[in-house]
């Protein structure tokens, strides 16, 4: 037998098992209300399910084209025109991927040489540093402040060096719930233009914005369409996270590069789900308004409950998530607090440090997801309220 000295490549050491997998397993073990991993309880709209079933019955069961079904590429193009006035050529400027996750990984792998630098905000979705590590790149971060979720544009300028290739932006933002304002997007765009950088903008929560805030794709800013890869997915918008239909659009030359990588990662994704998401992208404005309004109500419920137990919450204008500072509950380490919470109180949350290059700045922050059925959310809130009463339930 050959002695195994090491299995995992060095550049992936330190990433461990995703916090979402860990916390969902933990929540299941203790039958906790899972406000950790961000997936909705509500089911995919019936008419989308019917399209997927029909597509299977009609024999749409072989490989779709590597760039995605023409029907879906056209629907993505029409959606970008309808909501944002963006003109996107479905034949040359769109690539369908296996979720936004593959779009991100393929973009970074296609554009980042070993030693190139990639900037993102801290905290950020955990797939970004992992994709950079897979490409052999160097990850630089710019801090988002707790509370107003703002950043110092000087920090962003300072993070740019001679090897910087990409800025990854996530808008609306996981885990903070931040929606970047137009002026913040202008600041990022200015730096990208000045330093000739490509922006990869992950917009999977594009339709989940609250309080009248509207999503602005950074690609709509002057001089940005030619240097931006815009990524999204049907997972959040259509409560279909398990279908893993994502996409990326941008200038043909960049899309060619991403497609060159994507064909060797998965070649193509599941055809019947692509048909169904194409149908979804054409639904009425009322559908898109409703999902945001429903979520906003649940955000308010959870935010109120967190404030009620003495936590501070940061401003949440979009996404599935809200961040709470639980220091006032006597917590000094959110990692161990979150590890104990499912057993002690019957609720799961995610320590924000899991999204951070510098975990010391977020030691007492926890992310909670509110994309759950109202009854489930209310049960979670009832359980969390025990913490506010300082009972034996303190985790
Ligand atoms: N980006 C962000 C910011 C996310 O929160 C997620 C999680 N769903 C993804 C990408 C992954 O999306 P998908 O499931 O479409 O791969
Ligand atoms: N995006 C989801 C979250 O942030 C989970 C994605 C996953 O499980 N990989 O919770």
Grouping H, G, I as helix, E, B as strand and the rest as coil, residue 79 is helix
Q: Which residues of the chain have pLDDT under 50?
A: 1, 391-395
User: 105 C-alpha vs ligand 1 centroid, how far in Å?
Assistant: 11
pLDDT score for 5: 62
Give percent of the chain with pLDDT exceeding 90.
92
CB burial of residue 113 (10 Å; 0-12, 13-18, 19+):
exposed
pLDDT per residue over 136-168, tens digit each? 999 999 999 999 999 999 999 999 999 999 999
| Nearest CA residue ID for atom 4, ligand 2 | 38
Of 280, 273, 262, 252, the C-alpha closest to 97 is: 262
pLDDT per residue over 76-127, tens digit each? 999 999 999 999 999 999 999 999 999 999 999 999 999 999 999 999 999 9
Q: What is the reported pTM?
A: 0.95
Q: Which residues pair with 12 in a beta bridge?
A: none
Which ligand 1 atom lies nearest to the CA of residue 235? 15
pLDDT score for 359: 86
CA pair distance 371, 374, nearest whole angstrom: 9
DSSP string, 105-153: HHHHHHH--TT-EEEEEES--THHHHHHHHHT-EEEEEEPPTTT----H
Cβ(175) – ligand 1 distance below 6 Å: no
Buried b (16+ CB within 10 A) or exposed e, 173-189: bbbbbbbbeeebbbbbb
Which ligand 1 atom lies nearest to the CA of residue 236? 8
Q: Which two tokens mark 59?
A: 């024999």
Which ligand 1 atom lies nearest to the CA of residue 241? 14
| Residues with C-beta less than 6 Å from any ligand 2 atom | 18, 20, 37-38, 174
Cβ(269) – ligand 1 distance below 6 Å: no
CA pair distance 180, 199, nearest whole angstrom: 14
Ligand closest to the CA atom of residue 350: 2
CA pair distance 46, 374, nearest whole angstrom: 20
Which residues of the chain form beta strands (DSSP E)? 33-34, 94-98, 117-122, 138-143, 164-170, 198-202, 228-233, 245-249, 312-313, 321-325, 347-348, 350-351, 365-369
Residue count (the chain): 395
User: Which of 36, 37, 103, 233 best tests ligand 2's pocket when mutated (most atoms within 8 Å of CB)?
Assistant: 37
């Amino acid at each position: 037998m050959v002695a195994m000295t090491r299995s995992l490549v060095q550049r992936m050491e330190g990433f461990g098992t995703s916090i979402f997998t860990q916390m969902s397993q933990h929540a299941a073990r203790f039958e906790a209300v899972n406000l950790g991993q961000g997936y909705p309880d509500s089911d995919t709209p019936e008419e989308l399910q019917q399209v997927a079933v029909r597509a299977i019955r009609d024999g749409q069961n072989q490989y779709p084209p590597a760039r995605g079904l023409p029907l879906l590429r056209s629907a993505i193009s029409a959606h970008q025109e309808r909501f944002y006035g963006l003109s996107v050529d479905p034949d040359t400027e769109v690539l369908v991927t296996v979720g936004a996750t593959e779009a991100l990984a393929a973009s970074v792998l296609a554009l980042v040489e070993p030693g190139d630098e990639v900037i993102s905000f801290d905290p950020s979705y955990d797939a970004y540093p992992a994709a950079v590590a897979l490409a052999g790149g160097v990850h630089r971060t710019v801090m988002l402040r707790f509370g107003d979720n703002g950043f110092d544009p000087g920090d962003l300028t300072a993070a740019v060096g001679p090897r910087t290739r990409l800025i990854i932006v996530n808008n609306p933002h996981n885990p903070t719930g931040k929606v970047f304002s137009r002026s913040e997007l202008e600041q990022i765009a200015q730096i990208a233009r000045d330093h000739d950088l490509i922006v990869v903008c992950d917009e999977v929560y594009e339709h989940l914005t609250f309080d009248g805030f509207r999503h602005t794709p950074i690609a709509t800013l002057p001089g940005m369409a030619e240097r931006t890869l815009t990524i999204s997915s049907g997972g959040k918008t259509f409560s279909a996270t398990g279908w893993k239909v994502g996409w990326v659009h941008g200038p043909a030359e960049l899309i060619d590069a991403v497609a060159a990588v994507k064909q060797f990662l998965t070649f193509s994704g599941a055809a019947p789900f692509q048909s169904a998401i194409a149908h979804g992208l054409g639904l009425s404005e009322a559908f898109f308004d409703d999902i945001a309004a429903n979520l906003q109500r649940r955000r308010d419920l959870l935010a109120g409950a967190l404030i009620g137990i003495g936590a501070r919450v940061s401003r949440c204008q979009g996404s599935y998530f809200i961040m709470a500072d639980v220091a006032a509950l006597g917590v000094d380490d959110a990692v161990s607090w979150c590890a104990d919470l499912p057993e002690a109180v019957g609720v799961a949350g995610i320590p924000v440090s899991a999204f951070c290059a510098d975990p010391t700045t977020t030691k007492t922050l926890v992310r909670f997801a509110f994309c759950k059925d109202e009854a489930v959310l209310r049960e979670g809130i009832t359980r969390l309220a025990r913490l506010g009463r300082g009972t034996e339930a303190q985790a």
